[in-house]
Chain A
């Protein structure tokens, strides 16, 4: 069992409060991703879990035990550093076996365990090399191998893919997901890349300015973001935001007037809104549909054809709207297009940036990655 609980964790650096009261649960064998823009505190949070930084306030519990006073090596954790932090003067084998060497494990046993981990990561041919003779991807695997050897209850990954080139990143993403399945361990992963978060996580924790914006499965965050920040952060390309005017509220819909004059009703709860509340409409580029008589229109400024998809950047008054359309659309730059959206795909945000609660939950929103496994395997 390897669970983690954070209770009201705070952290100050001098006068600045960097982490502002975070509560979190990580369940056994979950793959949790801390995601957020630079400076949001995600790395600090991870370092506090690891024991490399002390928390200014609050408690950290692993498997129900308070570990705030326990040193980093005794928490049963292993960390993969962003820069890999390999020991430059030791071989790969030496790097991976270092923790055992410190613990006095005899040489034979060390070798055996290192070989085991090396096999999982395909590092056997590299065991006698020193870090400087390895490529970036190889070094990263050694760093992971070093963590595996420790047989930790929780793995911590601090932006492990950020130093790799794009192609390698995709490859390693898949390997890490595979690793999670194979090792069946709890993993906590920090990144600023929301694509990594979406593709690998069972649960995503979106952090912003030292506080948690939302916790949920990737699909939950995608379909039901709590606020404008999460809505704009998750999903690529970024969600479009348009200012709209409130025209009416009913128990099961909120009616709005769109820029350009069209009217739509969105199935969200607007009961608490003032009559003259300012609202923002959020629609993802992939949910904007090119329609001959759509309520919205604008001039195509830039058109990007990827073959299977086309991105259109459309100027609507002061706003630049992104539309993801199919690969075969016949438009050209400077054409005027009309487009619309399905109300179920729309989000409304009030003046404080909070999303009006959705009245219909998306069927996939409750799904976790565990549920994505073939039936018959334990969730």
Chain B
């Protein structure tokens, strides 16, 4: 049926607006007020421990932050965290999606099991891994390593960031798997069969047919993960508290330290602004992609 234009009858702009008003107003407030305040505070001298010190600080907070080696360690950790988790989840997720797309006995249940970690709350994940899996003497991993003659690893002491990466990747791999598996199911079987008739083996089919089909879903996964991974908090809060030293402090945790432990509102706000800018850079790409999707 060829319809040249949406026959959506616009019932007076007013009616449409009033239905959208609550949602839009609330989100507007939610965006402007705290955001504005963060911005404002970032230019103020404001430390809850030193109530007497107030006044416009200009770029002081930013200068302080930028010259603080802690910030750069935190940024580096953030990058490492995000980078590693992205790599593991996207590559792992794609391969697992291919695997779980195949027909095998009990596939449904296996899928459900593989997806589970994503629904576990972060505090539980972190503590289960820290204690029961990674504990250097009583943990399952220690027991496994010793059974094959290898020394047990004290994960959180010697490889703190890696430990966090493992925990977060474990939670988000199922997310990538879920999304990519769903996207795979829209792959036209006919295409695959045509390729097979053309002589393509499984590897060729993966690279020439599956991967291009998944391109958009993979980009969505990367972008959504990036936005959430930039602000990993609970796992660090509950296991290492950023330590040892600053080894597992990411940007989010650093801001937390400055805000709620040091009570240095000014600096924390400056850090917050940086985090917001970072997130927005990624967000622009995601928004553009979803916008393209809206066209369809």
Contacts and interface: CB of A to CB of B under 8 A. Distances in A.
Interface of A: 13-14, 16, 18, 38-39, 43-44, 47, 52-54, 82-83, 159
B1 interface: yes
A217 to B, nearest CB: 28
Where chain B touches its partner, the secondary structure class is: loop
A13 B5 contact: yes
A14 B1 CA distance: 20
A83 B3 CA distance: 14
Contact of A16 (B2, B3, B4): B4
Contacts of B7: 47, 52-53
Interface in B198-235: none
B4 A13 contact: yes
- Chain B interface residue bracket vs A: under 10
Nearest to B5: A13
B58 to A, nearest CB: 51
Interface in B90-134: none
B2 A39 contact: yes
Contacts of A44: 4
Interface string B7-27: 101000000000000000000
Where chain A touches its partner, the secondary structure class is: loop
Contacts of B4: 13, 16, 18, 39, 44
A39 B2 CA distance: 6
Contact of B2 (A14, A43, A53, A54): A43
Contacts of B2: 38-39, 43
A70 B134 CA distance: 73
19 contacts: A13-B4, A13-B5, A14-B5, A16-B4, A18-B4, A38-B2, A39-B2, A39-B4, A43-B1, A43-B2, A43-B3, A44-B4, A47-B7, A52-B7, A53-B7, A54-B9, A82-B1, A83-B1, A159-B1
Contacts of B5: 13-14
Nearest to A52: B7
B7 to A, nearest CB: 6
A266 B117 CA distance: 85
B101 to A, nearest CB: 28
Contacts of B3: 43
Nearest to A53: B7
A14 B4 CA distance: 10
A47 B3 CA distance: 11
Contacts of A18: 4
A246 B7 CA distance: 50
A18 B1 CA distance: 15
A52 B3 CA distance: 13
Interface in B132-155: none
Contacts of A43: 1-3
Which of B4, B7, B9 has the most chain A CB atoms inside 10 A of its CB?
Answer: B4
A52 B5 CA distance: 13
Given A16-B4, A53-B7, 12 more contacts: A13-B5, A14-B5, A18-B4, A38-B2, A39-B2, A39-B4, A43-B2, A44-B4, A47-B7, A54-B9, A82-B1, A159-B1
A53 B9 CA distance: 8
A16 B4 CA distance: 10
A38 B159 CA distance: 67
Contacts of B1: 43, 82-83, 159
Nearest to A47: B7
B51 to A, nearest CB: 61
Contacts of A52: 7
Nearest to B6: A13
B38 to A, nearest CB: 43
A200 to B, nearest CB: 20
A44 B4 CA distance: 9
A39 B3 CA distance: 8
A82 B5 CA distance: 17
A159 B2 CA distance: 12
A43 B4 CA distance: 11
Nearest to A12: B5
A254 B4 CA distance: 44
A54 B11 CA distance: 13
